[in-house]
Amino acid sequence: MFEIRIEGETVYLAGRLDAAESDLANAQIAPLPGPITLDCSRLEYISSAGISVLMVAYKRMIAGGKGFRMVNLMPRVKNVFVYAGLDKLLGIE
């Protein structure tokens, strides 16, 4: 199960962001003007499809001169970004 909640500039992600949920996540994140802070404190899993959604949002924010950061990642989710070499690029805190 995946949940997304938006409060101002903060996007709260919870559950599993995988291929089955990537369209929902993209539909919610794409219209945001930015900057964006993704609170991942309840995100339990992310697949390559989920990473793709976040990369598209990141590229759009950076191209528009807006900020993008990710906070409160669980160790197992953070490791996915570290192993992919995306931790420093995406502003993971």
The pLDDT-based confidence of 45 (bands split at 50, 70, 90) is very high
What is the distance, to the nearest Å, from the Cα of residue 2 to the centroid of all Cα atoms in its chain? 13
Q: Given a cut of 80, is residue 75 above it in pLDDT?
A: yes
Q: Residue 38: count other Cβ atoms within 10 Å of its Cβ.
A: 23
Domains and CATH numbers, the chain: 2-83 (3.30.750.24)
The kind and range of the H/E element at 28 are helix 19-29
The pTM assigned to this predicted structure is: 0.91
What is the distance, to the nearest Å, from the Cα of residue 24 to the centroid of all Cα atoms in its chain? 13
Q: What is the mean pLDDT of the chain?
A: 94
The pLDDT-based confidence of 89 (bands split at 50, 70, 90) is confident
Give pLDDT tens digits for 5-33.
999 999 999 999 999 999 999 999 999 99
